[in-house]
Amino acid sequence: MPDTGILPHLDLAPVKRRRGEALGAWLLTLPAVISFVILLLLPTLAAIVMAFSDFELGVWPPAWIGLENFTELLGDRGFRQSFANTVIYVGLVAPASVGLGLAFALLIEAGTRGRAFFRAVFFLPVVSLTVAMASAWQYLLHPTIGPLNTLLRSLGVAGPAWLSSSDTVLISLAAIGVWENAGFNMVLFMAGLTAIPRELREAAAVDGARSAWSRFRLVTWPLLGPTTLFVVTITLIRSIRVFDTVAVLTRGGPNRASETLLYTMYTEGFTFLRLGYSAAITLVFLAIVLVLMLLQTRVLDKRVHYG
């Protein structure tokens, strides 16, 4: 074919269309990207930088001190106490709220009447503000006029000072935490149960799984694997970041018996104005959360059946 010097006609419409779609996608995602950078990424980077400085409000400029804040954490008895309290709190709240949430969901799904009523009753703590409920809890757990101790006295048992005794304050806060989380977990489990076809349970009954426990063990529980993994993850996150009940009901007392990591972070940063030390506690807290999530997904995800 002779070279005429004339380039063949190229259809640029598809290229322009793809560029327009890409530009539109970036414009749609730009608000989310800006929010992520401003509200999450930049504060996280600022906390990382502050954790290696002696930054305090009212003192300028801050000095770079390297790992001194983390070295102080290792020798800080108050930090060790709050860390232990957080571990105990999570160990009490997470299993109990997950188990009760599953039990409530199974009972409501098995019933034929009053589903909406019981669903609303169990979910009520989720939509209730803990700060607003503080007065109710303080009254319920009051050592002299509280209904709980009044009931115990009627049975011949001397009730303890639930929120002002070092022996019972953490257990009391854990009970409140279970009350807060069980209804939320129940709703999640009910969503998972709804996604399981009833025909599978009926087929299991025909195949010999006569009891409700057998059908739950062989059909329901394996198919609830993804829901359970999600519920356990959310419950661990919600329980490890406990703050409001501690701040409102006990303020970490008595003798730091109820102080948790987030409350220690708050007091160091906004009471003692040691923002560098508070940022170091923040990094430790984030590291703990990441390790828990990694271990959980590595261990539980292998046992989850995705249908």
pLDDT, tens only, 104-117: 998 888 766 767 77
The alpha-helical segments, DSSP class H, found in the chain are: 13-36, 42-51, 68-75, 77-110, 115-127, 130-140, 147-154, 169-194, 198-206, 212-215, 221-223, 225-240, 244-245, 261-270, 275-300
277: Cα separation from own chain's centroid: 24
pLDDT at 301: 66
Distance CA 50, CA 221 (A): 46
260: Cα separation from own chain's centroid: 14
pTM: 0.84
Is 25 contained in some domain?
A: yes
Residues 36 and 83 in one domain: no
Residues 83 and 187 in one domain: yes
pLDDT at 156: 87
DSSP 40: I
Distance CA 70, CA 46 (A): 17
Both tokens assigned to 180: 């807060």
pLDDT at 277: 92
Q: Is 26 helix (H, G, I), strand (E, B) or coil?
A: helix
pLDDT at 1: 47
DSSP 229: H
Residues 279 and 186 in one domain: yes
Is 164 contained in some domain?
A: no
Q: Are residues 100 and 231 in contact, defined by beta-carbon separation less than 8 angstroms?
A: no
Measured over the CA atoms of residue 173, residue 179, residue 184 and residue 188, the dihedral's sign is positive
> Which residues constitute the domain of residue 27?
12-51
Residues 24 and 84 in one domain: no
∠104-108-111 over CA atoms, to 5°?
Answer: 140
CATH of the domain at 111: 1.10.3720.10
104: Cα separation from own chain's centroid: 20
Q: Residue ranges of the chain with pLDDT lower than 70?
A: 1-12, 111-112, 114, 209, 300-307
Residues 26 and 92 in one domain: no
Cα→Cα distances 283→48, 228, 271, 277, 289, Å: 7, 28, 19, 10, 10
Residues 84 and 45 in one domain: no
DSSP 303: G
Cα→Cα distances 212→87, 201, 206, 220, Å: 35, 9, 13, 10
Residues 215 and 283 in one domain: yes
> Which residues partner with 64 through β-bridges?
53
pLDDT at 278: 92
Residues 100 and 239 in one domain: yes
Is 142 contained in some domain?
A: no
Residues 244 and 294 in one domain: yes
Residues 101 and 190 in one domain: yes
Residues 76 and 123 in one domain: yes
The total domain count for the chain is: 2
Cα→Cα distances 271→65, 149, 248, Å: 22, 34, 15
